[in-house]
Structures are given as structure tokens and as C-alpha cells.
């Protein structure tokens, strides 16, 4: 018996086999699609949950340590004058920029103007909001950097670098301090996200380029040193390939320059004409161009050492570097071959460089490289007197690429050894180690200076004012009335209706009031307070009371003195009160002067103030602001920035080639 299959039967069998194969393929595709959707939901859930949890933890930690620093109150004094119509000044009638961040001043002014709420509460709310948004943008940007190349396995994005940042106590201290730290890290977080979005556009869009350029260009008004990062970002945007539009690439670049510089350049021209300086007066008072490497290294170690901050930095940097290298190896080799071939010519190498500039790697280089440069800058100038504050933006920069780290889970059914590949084990170990370190650091008190100033001059600013004001959360200016000598200041002002100059005694125990000269005009003279703490004094007195300081933050005459070689960092200028008695026009003779002032020094200070160059400096911010004065200030602003006087009146007389009124007369032959 023979078995034979007809051609028709063969065709039917083939059709059935083909249908079965297609059905199996469809089922496999449906399984893959279902798995991919589950992976996507899992990844999104973990990431969003991590963002929410991290932000909440930071918010709770910042709220538990809420406060407004004395330097934060300095900003609010300028805002008060803006709202009163006196302009962006600290004392009415004196054009002095006492706030390093121009943008922060106007941000507080804007929200105060629209809310009409108390300034301290506005500063607190805006600072906390910007701090939390900075964390969100950091994590969202980092998620773009680490987004999975393939959907074959679920990749979880776990919070890591942001945990390092929020675990350091100063980060939570300065989230609500009224200082511009919140604005700086917010600007950095948004810049990070904008640059990554621009670098990953499949079809580059002009709008994304210009928005990123505009935001990077705000660097100068955010804080002058942020120009390091903003400038690098603008260079990358400028030299990268331009989007394909009807506009010529040269015109696109010109438009980018215009958009990137419109705010900072415009404000700079106005600053030079209005204030007579090319940068804030705080940079003059603190000699931002000076060098104190030894003190700067102490400041760096004051943050890095006690918290063992180098441990998570090292762990995450090594893990991130390995992950990036492995990620590059998974990319297609076709592009690399093309680039290697193109790189054999000069034009080809330039094209490769251009393509690299518009890549996430270039964005990482800008933020991390800029952060490292700012660390060096901060160490060079000697750091700061506030524990950790001036290194927080740098730490934030360094942690941006690693704000989240990718953890690729093994696929079910894969070989058991794959569970411990680097893509799973390394990120997991790094993340677990970071969490363990964070639990330690978050509960560590590194700077133990308390209510006193340490030998290094560095102090935990929040604890210092908590202890000295007696308030757990000194937020309102009135909370600082419990700081030593504040209530006595108000009492002495009320007790001297004719006005006068309030000088703190050498023992810091009481106030002396130098009276104004007779005759007293109707309503009396204004009061002037000469004191170290500008914020608490200025926010507890009317705007008509002039408040100045011996360091020069609000008093250019003191700011333009020479730096004390061994002075406390950030406080290494100290103008003698003899100058102030003369400059403010008070009675400069005993017995009306405070007993600790010397008649001879006061006479010499009166002569020293007649120096033409010094008078020109005083006119730059005191003379009426006419168009001629505006132009003169622009021309002379660089000279004013470099001009220095000697704090000892006798030596200043010699420097200016004046005649010392106290010198003995020559004996005739």
C-alpha cells in the first residue's frame, strides 16, 4: 500500500503550517508588547515615586531647619526700598548693590509685589519652592541621560546623587535661608534639563536652542561666578550644529548671541552706570579676586571631611563612569566607523567635534567641568565663613549626571549568572552604599562651633543665630530683636530724636551716639547705625535710618579699604569709626564724641576724605544720577572697582599726597 499526497493536499498543509507560524509569531509579539508595557509602567512608577519621595524628604528636612539668615534679611532691605520707590538700593540716596545675586533681589521683589505678603514669608516660600523644583529638574534631566537604549529589560532609575545632596545638612539649611542658594541650584537644574533636551532632539528645533541659550545667559545675574558654567554652555550651543531652518546658520548664531546676552549684558551696562561698578559691591568688600588658598582648603575640608563626603562621591563617580563606558559599547559601531573615517581630515575632525558638542556627553562635561572649576575658584578666594554654603552649587553640579542611576533588572528565563552582571549588581551596590551613607550624614553635626566662631572663622550659621537669638526658627526680623544689642539699638534711636550716629562700643556691650551738629533742623537729623550685622539692624528700623557696616557691604568707603591679611574670611575689612564720624557729618570733637575715638585720628580722617580720587568714588554712588553721571560711572567703573584707600588716616594722607593737619609745623631756620 503506497501513500501518496496530491498537490492540492500539499498546498492545504503548507497553508495551515504558515497560519500556525503566523499565529505563534503574533502570540510572541503580543507577549513581548505586554512585557514591554509592564516594564514601562514599572520603570515610570519607580522613577516618579523616587522623585516624589526625594522631594518630600528634602522639603520636610528643609522645613525642620527653616530660618532666614541675617544676610538673607539684607536682601529684604533692598526689596523694601524697591517697593517704596527708592530704587534697588540699601540706603535711600546711596546707590550701593549689597546683594550678589541681582536676579534673587528681583525675584523676591516680584512675588512680594504681587502677593503683598510679609517679606520674610515671601522669601521663605519662594526659597523652599525653588529648592524643591531644583531637585525635580535634576532628576528629570538625569532620567533623560540614562533613559534605556532598549526595552528588552526593565530599567529602574533610582535616586542617588540627589540623595547625597539633600543628606548634607547645609543643603537643608540653605534651602530656606533667604539667600540665593535656592535660585542658583534651580537655575542649574533647569539648565541641565534644557541642555539635555536640546542635545537629544532627533530633529533639532530653533526654539529649544534659543530657550537654552537664554537660560544659560542669565548666569551673570544669578551669581557672577555662575558665568563659568553659563559661558561654557553658551560656547557649546554656539559651536554645535545649528537647526535646519530657512535662516542661515550665521544668522542663527547671531540670534543665539542676542538672546543669550540680552539680560546679562543689558543689566551690566545699567549696573556700571547706576552703581559705578562692573560687579556687585559685595565682590569689592570681600575681594573676590584675591587669593587665600590655605583658608580655601580649610573650607573645603570643613564640608568634605566631617561628613566623609568623598565616600559617596567616589562610589557614584566610579559606578557612573563604568555605566557610561558600557552604555557606549552597546551603541552601534556603524556611527563610530563613520566618525573614524571622517576624522582623517581636518574638516572631518571638526565635524565630529561639532556632533559631539550636541550630545549628552558634552552637556555632562559642561556641568561637571564647570562645577570643578568653581570648586577651584572657591578654594582660591578662601571659601566662606558659612559652613558649606559656597560649595553647595558645586556639589549639586557634580551630582547632576548621577541624580538617578539606572538599574537594569534581569529578564525572567535568562541565565542565572546574568543576575550579577555589572548592569544589575554595580548600580545596586552603589545605590545601597549611598543610602547607607546618607543615613549617617543626615544626622551628623559637622561644624561644632555652636554660638561661637571657630578658630578657622567658619561657623554653622543657622545654629549660631538660633543660639544667639533664642529662637529655634528665626524667620521674622523681629525674631532677631533678641540678638544682643538689638533692643538697645531701638531704644537709643527712640531716645535721640535729634538723630545721630550709633557706634558699637569696643567691648560690644553698649551703643554710643555721636550727636549731629547744631542747629538741629525741624524734624531732626536722620540716624545712622554703624554695625556688623546689616540684616537684623536694617530690617528692624525705618528706611529713613541709614545702616552701614565696617566691612563695606553697604558702605563703599569701607569696601574700598585694603584687605586685612589675617582677618576672618568674609570679614577681613574693618574701617575705623573715626572715618564714619567725619563722613556722616557728626560732631567730631570731645566731649561729644565717644570716648574711645581719638581727636588726632578724626582730624586726619577729615583731611584724608578730601582726596580727589576718594571724592570721585563717593560721588559715583551719592551724586544725583544724571545722564552725565551715568556715562562717567560707566567709563570709570573699572577704575572704581580697583581703587583702594588705607584704613589708617595718616597713611591715607601720605598715599594721596595731602598735608597732615596734626603734623608739627616746621621750625624756621
Per residue in 118-135, pLDDT (tens digit) is: 999 999 999 999 999 999
Long-range contacts of 46-50 (CB under 8 A, 24+ apart): 46/156, 46/157, 46/158, 47/139, 47/143, 47/156, 47/157, 47/404, 50/139, 50/157, 50/158, 50/159, 50/404
Torsion of the alpha carbons at 587, 588, 592 and 598, rounded to the nearest 10: 170
> What CA–CA distance (Å, rounded) separates 491 from 243?
66
Residue 39, φ and ψ in degrees, nearest 5:
-60, -45
How many Cβ atoms from other residues are within 10 Å of residue 613's Cβ?
12
What's the burial of 331, exposed, middle or buried (CB within 10 Å: 0-12/13-18/19+)?
Answer: exposed
pLDDT at 19 over 80: no
Residue 147's pLDDT band, with cuts at 50, 70 and 90, is confident
Residue 514 φ/ψ, nearest 5 degrees: -80, 120
User: pLDDT digits over 566-599, tens only?
Assistant: 888 888 899 999 999 999 999 988 888 888 899 9
Mean pLDDT of 419-423: 58
| Residue for grid cell 546679562 | 264
Q: State residue 157's pLDDT score.
A: 92
Phi–psi pair at 461, nearest 5 degrees: -60, -40
Question: Which residues contact residue 514 at a Cβ distance below 8 angstroms, ignoring those fewer than 6 apart?
Answer: 500, 501, 503, 581, 584, 586, 587, 592, 593, 594
Non-local (6+) Cβ contacts of 254 within 8 A are: none
Q: What is the pLDDT of residues 451-475, one digit of tens each?
A: 788 788 899 999 999 999 999 999 9
Structure confidence at residue 270 (pLDDT): 96
Grouping H, G, I as helix, E, B as strand and the rest as coil, residue 364 is: helix
Cα separation, 414 vs 15, in Å, equals 34
The whole-number pLDDT of residue 36 equals 60
Three cell numbers written together for 274:
547706576
Q: Over range 94-119, report the average pLDDT.
A: 96
Query: Which triple of cell numbers denotes residue 610?
Result: 578730601
User: Please, which residues have CB within 8 angstroms of residue 303's CB and are 6 or more apart in sequence?
Assistant: 168, 170, 309, 387, 388, 391, 446
When the pLDDT of each residue in the chain is averaged and rounded to a whole number, the result is: 88
Residue 424 pLDDT: 76
CA gap 319, 164 in Å, rounded: 15
Q: Which grid coordinates are listed for 250?
A: 550665521
Instruction: Output the 3-class SS for 223-290.
Output: CHHHHHHHHHHHHHHHHCCCCCCCCCHHHHHHHHHHHHHHHHHHHHHHHHHHHCCCCCHHHHHCCCCC
Predicted confidence (pLDDT) at residue 191 exceeds the cutoff of 70: yes
- 527-530, strands of its sheet edge to edge: 511-514, 500-504, 527-530, 546-548
pLDDT, average across residues 517-523: 88
What's residue 394's pLDDT?
96
Other CB atoms closer than 10 Å to residue 328's CB: what's the count?
10
* Secondary structure of 59-117 in HEC code, one letter for each residue: HHHHHHCCCCCHHHHHHHHHHHHHHHCCCCCCECCECCCCCCCHHHHHHHHHHHHHHCC
Q: How many CA atoms lie within 13 A of 504 on its CB side?
A: 19
pLDDT, position 594: 87
**Does an H or E element contain 501, and which?**
strand 500-504
- The three cell numbers of residue 532 are 556688623
Cell numbers 547625597: residue: 164
Q: Cα separation of 243 and 238, whole Å? A: 11
Q: Output the pLDDT for position 330.
A: 59
Q: How confident is the model at residue 336 (pLDDT cuts 50, 70, 90)?
A: very low
Backbone φ and ψ for 530, nearest 5 degrees, come out as -110, 100
Mean per-residue pLDDT, 421-436: 84
Q: How confident is the model over 44-50, as a mean pLDDT? A: 91
Q: Name the band, by pLDDT with cuts 50, 70 and 90, for residue 480.
A: very high
Domain boundaries, the chain: 35-330+348-442, 484-656
Q: For residues 243 and 204, is the Cβ–Cβ distance under 8 A?
A: yes
Highest mean pLDDT among 172-176, 456-460, 593-597, 660-664: 172-176
Q: Supply the pLDDT for residue 345.
A: 62
Kindly tell me if the per-residue pLDDT of 350 is higher than 80: no
pLDDT over 80 (residue 415): no
Q: Is the pLDDT of residue 230 over 90?
A: yes
Quickly state the pLDDT bin for 449 (edges 50, 70, 90).
confident
Cα gap 620→603, rounded to integer Å: 24
Residue of 217, 221, 228 lying closest to 258 (CA atoms):
217
Q: Residue 54's CB: how many other CB atoms inside 10 A?
A: 23
φ, ψ for residue 158, nearest 5 deg: -100, 135
pLDDT of residue 35: 55
What are the angstrom distances between the C-alpha of 120 and each of 72, 91, 385?
Answer: 9, 19, 23
> Across-strand partners of 406?
157
The pLDDT of residue 143 is above 50: yes
Pairing between β-strand 155-159 and β-strand 404-408 as defined by DSSP bridges: antiparallel
pLDDT in tens, 366-414: 999 999 999 999 999 999 999 999 999 999 999 999 999 998 877 655 4
Collapsed DSSP state (helix, strand, coil) of residue 368: helix
Q: Is 503 helix (H, G, I), strand (E, B) or coil?
A: strand
10 Å Cβ neighbour count for 272? 22
- Tell me: the pLDDT tens digits for 28-37? 445 555 556 7
pTM score, whole prediction: 0.90
Q: CA angle, 661 as apex, 656 and 667 as ends, to 5°?
A: 110
Nearest to 217 by CA among 262, 281, 152: 262
Query: What local confidence, expressed as pLDDT, does residue 151 receive?
Result: 54
Of residues 135, 216, 219, the one with CA closest to residue 171: 135
Tell me what pLDDT residue 663 has.
79
Amino acid at each position: 500500500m503506497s501513500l501518496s499526497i496530491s498537490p492540492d493536499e500539499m498546498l492545504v498543509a503548507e497553508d495551515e503550517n504558515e497560519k500556525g507560524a503566523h499565529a505563534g509569531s503574533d502570540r510572541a509579539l503580543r507577549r513581548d508588547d505586554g512585557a514591554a508595557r509592564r516594564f514601562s509602567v514599572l520603570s515610570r512608577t519607580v522613577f516618579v515615586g523616587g522623585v516624589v519621595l526625594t522631594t518630600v524628604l528634602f522639603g520636610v528636612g528643609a522645613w525642620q531647619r527653616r530660618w532666614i539668615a541675617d544676610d538673607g534679611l539684607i536682601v529684604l532691605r533692598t526689596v523694601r526700598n524697591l517697593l517704596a520707590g527708592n530704587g534697588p538700593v540699601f540706603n535711600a540716596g546711596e546707590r550701593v548693590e549689597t546683594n550678589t545675586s541681582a536676579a534673587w533681589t528681583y525675584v523676591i521683589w516680584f512675588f512680594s509685589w504681587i502677593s503683598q505678603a510679609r517679606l520674610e514669608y515671601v522669601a521663605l516660600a519662594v526659597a523652599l519652592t525653588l529648592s524643591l523644583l531644583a531637585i525635580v529638574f535634576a532628576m528629570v534631566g538625569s532620567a533623560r541621560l540614562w533613559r534605556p537604549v532598549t526595552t528588552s529589560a526593565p530599567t529602574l532609575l533610582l535616586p542617588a546623587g540627589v540623595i547625597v545632596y539633600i543628606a548634607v545638612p547645609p543643603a537643608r539649611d540653605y534651602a530656606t535661608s533667604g539667600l540665593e542658594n535656592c535660585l542658583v541650584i534651580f537655575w542649574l537644574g533647569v539648565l541641565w534639563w534644557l541642555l539635555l533636551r536640546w542635545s537629544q532632539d532627533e530633529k533639532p528645533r530653533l526654539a529649544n536652542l534659543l530657550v537654552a541659550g537664554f537660560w544659560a545667559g542669565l548666569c551673570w545675574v544669578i551669581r557672577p561666578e555662575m558665568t563659568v558654567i553659563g559661558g561654557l554652555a553658551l560656547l557649546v550651543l554656539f559651536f554645535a550644529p545649528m537647526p535646519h531652518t530657512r535662516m542661515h546658520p550665521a544668522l542663527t548664531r547671531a540670534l543665539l548671541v542676542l538672546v543669550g546676552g540680552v539680560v546679562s549684558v543689558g543689566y551690566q551696562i545699567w549696573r556700571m552706570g547706576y552703581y559705578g561698578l562692573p560687579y556687585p559691591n559685595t565682590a569689592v568688600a570681600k575681594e573676590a579676586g584675591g587669593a587665600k588658598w590655605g583658608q580655601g582648603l580649610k573650607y573645603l575640608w570643613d564640608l568634605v571631611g566631617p561628613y566623609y563626603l568623598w565616600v559617596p562621591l567616589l562610589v557614584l563617580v566610579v559606578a557612573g563612569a563604568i555605566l557610561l563606558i558600557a552604555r557606549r559599547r552597546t551603541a552601534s559601531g556603524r556611527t563610530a566607523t563613520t566618525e573614524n573615517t571622517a576624522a582623517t581630515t581636518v574638516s572631518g575632525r571638526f565635524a565630529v567635534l561639532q556632533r559631539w558638542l550636541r550630545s549628552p556627553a558634552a552637556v555632562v562635561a559642561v556641568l561637571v567641568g564647570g562645577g570643578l572649576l568653581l570648586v577651584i575658584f572657591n578654594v582660591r578666594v578662601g571659601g566662606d565663613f558659612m559652613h558649606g554654603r559656597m560649595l553647595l552649587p558645586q556639589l549639586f553640579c557634580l551630582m547632576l549626571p548621577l541624580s538617578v542611576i539606572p538599574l537594569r533588572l534581569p529578564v525572567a528565563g535568562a541565565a542565572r549568572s546574568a543576575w550579577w552582571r555589572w548592569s544589575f549588581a554595580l548600580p545596586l551596590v552603589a545605590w545601597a552604599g549611598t543610602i547607607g551613607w546618607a543615613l549617617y550624614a543626615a544626622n551628623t553635626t559637622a561644624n561644632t562651633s555652636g554660638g561661637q566662631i571657630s578658630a578657622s572663622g567658619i561657623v554653622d550659621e543657622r545654629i549660631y543665630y538660633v543660639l544667639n537669638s533664642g529662637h529655634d526658627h528665626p524667620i521674622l526680623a523681629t525674631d532677631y530683636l533678641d540678638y544682643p544689642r538689638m533692643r538697645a539699638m531701638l531704644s537709643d534711636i527712640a531716645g535721640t530724636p535729634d538723630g545721630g550716629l550709633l557706634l558699637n562700643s569696643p567691648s560690644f556691650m553698649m551703643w554710643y551716639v555721636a550727636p549731629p551738629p547744631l542747629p538741629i533742623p525741624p524734624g531732626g537729623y536722620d540716624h545712622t547705625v554703624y554695625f556688623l550685622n546689616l540684616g537684623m539692624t536694617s530690617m528692624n528700623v525705618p528706611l529713613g535710618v541709614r545702616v552701614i557696616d565696617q566691612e563695606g557691604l553697604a558702605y563703599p568707603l569701607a569696601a574700598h579699604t585694603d584687605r586685612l591679611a589675617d582677618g576672618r574670611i568674609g570679614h577681613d575689612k574693618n574701617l575705623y569709626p573715626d572715618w564714619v564720624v567725619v563722613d556722616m557729618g557728626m560732631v567730631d570733637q570731645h566731649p561729644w564724641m565717644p570716648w574711645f575715638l581719638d581727636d588726632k585720628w578724626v582730624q586726619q580722617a577729615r583731611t584724608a576724605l578730601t582726596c580727589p580720587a576718594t571724592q570721585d568714588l563717593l560721588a559715583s554712588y551719592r551724586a544725583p544720577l544724571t545722564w552725565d553721571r551715568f556715562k562717567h560711572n560707566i567709563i570709570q567703573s573699572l577704575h572704581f572697582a580697583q581703587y583702594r584707600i588705607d584704613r589708617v588716616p595718616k597713611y591715607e594722607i601720605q598715599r594721596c599726597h595731602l598735608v597732615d593737619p596734626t603734623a608739627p609745623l616746621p621750625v624756621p631756620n
